[in-house]
Amino acid sequence: MTIPNVQIGPLDLVTVLPYLSLAIMFGIVLAVVPLLTWFERVVLGLFHDRPGPNRVGPRGILQPIADGIKLFFKEDILPTSVDRRIYYLAPVLALMPPLASCAVIPITELRIRMADGTIRTLPMVAADVNIGVLWVFGLAALQVYGIVLGGWSSNNKYSLLGGLRSSAQSISYELAMSLTIVTAVLMAGSLSLVEIVQAQSGGIFSWNILRWFPLGLIAAIVYGISMVAETNRAPFDLPEAESELVAGFQTEYSSMKFAVFFMSEYASMVVVSAMATVLWLGGWQAPAPGLTIIPGVVWFFGKIALIIFTYVWVRATLPRFRYDALMRFGWKRLFPVALAVLMLGAVVDAYYTSPTAKSAIPAKPERPKPNMMGAEGAG
């Protein structure tokens, strides 16, 4: 791979890079949502032994566009009894967190030839803040507000029940999720997502999923389950359980407001998958040193695609949880397991990780920090 010069025309790559990464991540998340709906239908079709989308465009690839146009031109119904302000705000609140999370997720690493001829390695991320994990996690917690408020303001009992389910579910599964994230943080010794990925360099066996075997694996599985629950996807799709609550919290939403909820669901799928990639699957790192020829961005998005395929696979296979079973599973199974893994991980970290091993983590390169997201003050 050729190493690009820092100066491309009038632009200084080091300065532009954060904005570029943000644009890419935003663009990918927003552009991938329609593609994802198509992908999900095709994969589900394969699982179900039926054709799946095949009417609009080759293999139905244009179906999402047709759907988008349809949703855009649908009548925007405002039920008379809704709490208007909150009703309009809720979809926005649901979509905002996954998009804002994109800011700290590193896509790949770029090697850039500086003006003086030295080569620097820069992470391709909008804001390499040292509290990246907390940022993502905090936003994920915020996302439930969109759903709860949407359910509440709709003034519909199905919506209300959906919203209630969602809040209970998010709180329960966030605990297990956060504990596993702490485990990953322990492994890397940093809260910065860039450093977490950098700490996993050197092939598949240094990825967090296989580190401290089997602790990393268990934690990754717990994260994976909580991730599905966090995004309200099958088999944890109780807030919008079609056969029980019609459409749950989005029953009263139509047209673009419904589409925004829909987008938020898929965008958060992409974001939590990206987080899983960063935390457990080594981010942009290739699984073997020889495979570094393939650019990191391909690995990064490839891993995300794999996780999303698993999402669809799980959806095709498992029936829906019942509310009480969901709670029992979250609190009595996942939470203790996550806690135990964290405890053991802490012991391993304290006794078996020598100081020399920690110093092996490549030091974060110095570079002017972009003044975004209040990153300067944080930390």
Partner 1 sequence: MTKPAMTTAAMAAQGITLDPVDDSTIVLNMGPQHPSTHGVLRLVLELDGETIVSVTPHIGYVHTGIEKEGEYQSYLKAVTITDRMDYVSAHINNLAFCLSVERLLGVEPPPRGQYLRVLLSEIQRMASHLVWLGTHALDLGAMTVFFYAMREREKLLDLTEMLSGVRLMPSWIVPGGLRGDVPEGWFERCKHVLDDLPGRFAEYETILDQNPIWCERTQGVGIISADECLGLGVSGPSLRGSGVAYDVRKASPYSRFEDFEFGIPVGAFGDVNDRYRVRMAELRQSREIARQAIERMPDGPVSIDDPQIFPPKRADLDRSMEAVIQHFKLWSQGFAPPAGHAYVPVESPKGELGFYVVSNGGFYPWRMHLRAPSFMNLQALSTLCRGRLIADVVAIIGSLDIVLGEIDR
Contact pattern for partner 1 over residues 64 through 103, marking x by CB under 8 A = ----------------xx----------------------
225 touches partner 1 by CB under 8 A: no
Among the residue ranges 45-53, 66-74, 90-98, 179-187, the one whose residues contact partner 1 (CB under 8 A): 45-53
For partner 1, which is the closer residue by CB, 161 or 286? 161
* Tokens 């699982």 found at: 47
* Burial label, 1 (beta-carbon count in 10 A; 0-12, 13-18, 19+): exposed
Q: Which of 104, 120, 101 is nearest to 375 (CA)?
A: 104
- The residue count for binding partner 1 (CB under 8 A) is 32
228 binds partner 1 (CB under 8 A): no
Tell me if 46 contacts partner 1 by CB under 8 A: no
For residue 253, what are its two tokens?
């939403």
Nearest residue to 82 via CA among 251, 259, 261:
251
- Mask for 311-350, x = binds partner 1 (CB under 8 A): ----xxxxxxxxxxx-------------------------
Stretch that binds partner 1, among 24-32, 47-55, 112-120, 252-260 (CB under 8 A): 47-55
Smallest gap from Cβ 181 to partner 1, in A, equals 26
Q: Does 161 bind partner 1 (CB under 8 A)?
A: yes
In 3D, which of 253, 244, 242, 235 has the Cα closest to residue 93? Answer: 253
Taking the complex as a whole, how short is the minimal distance between the CB of residue 155 and partner 1, in angstroms? 8
Q: Which is nearer to partner 1, 87 or 299 (CB)?
A: 87
23 or 46: whose CB is closer to partner 1?
Answer: 46
| Structure-token match 């770029």, residue found | 110
Question: In the beta sheet, which residues pair with residue 110?
Answer: 122
Say how far apart CA 283 and CA 307 lie, in whole Å: 13
What DSSP element (H or E) covers 290? none
Helices marked H in 154-192 — which ranges?
157-188
Binding marks (x or -) toward partner 1, 164..203, rule CB under 8 A? -x--------------------------------------
Transcribe 205-223 into DSSP letters: GGSGGGTTTTHHHHHHHHH
Q: Which of 47, 88, 309, 331 binds partner 1 (CB under 8 A)?
A: 47
Closest to partner 1 by CB, 129 or 161: 161
Establish if 158 lies at the interface with partner 1 (CB under 8 A): yes
209-213 contact pairs (CB < 8 A, 24+): 209/280, 209/281, 211/187, 212/187, 212/344, 212/345, 212/348
Angle at 49 between CA 46 and CA 52, to 5 degrees: 60
Nearer to partner 1, 136 or 234 (CB): 234
> Residue 325 Cβ, how far from partner 1 at the closest point, in Å?
5
Place of tokens 């405002």: 78
What distance in Å separates the CA atoms of residue 306 and residue 304, rounded to the nearest whole number?
5
Beta carbons within 8 Å of 99's beta carbon, 6+ residues apart: 26, 29, 30, 267
Candidates 9, 10, 50, 374: give the one binding partner 1 (CB under 8 A).
Answer: 50
Considering only residues 235 to 274 of the shown chain, the ones binding partner 1 according to CB under 8 A are: 235, 237-238, 241-246
Answer whether 176's CB lies under 8 Å from 226's CB.
Answer: yes
| Cα–Cα distance for residue pair 156/246, rounded to 1 Å | 11
Q: How far is the CB of 84 from partner 1 (least distance, A)?
A: 13
Nearer to partner 1, 122 or 334 (CB): 334
Q: Which is nearer to partner 1, 155 or 206 (CB)?
A: 155
Q: Nearer to partner 1 by C-beta: 158 or 266?
A: 158
CB-nearer residue toward partner 1: 333 or 367: 333
Interface residues with partner 1 (CB under 8 A)?
Answer: 44, 47-50, 80-81, 157-158, 161, 165, 234-235, 237-238, 241-246, 315-325
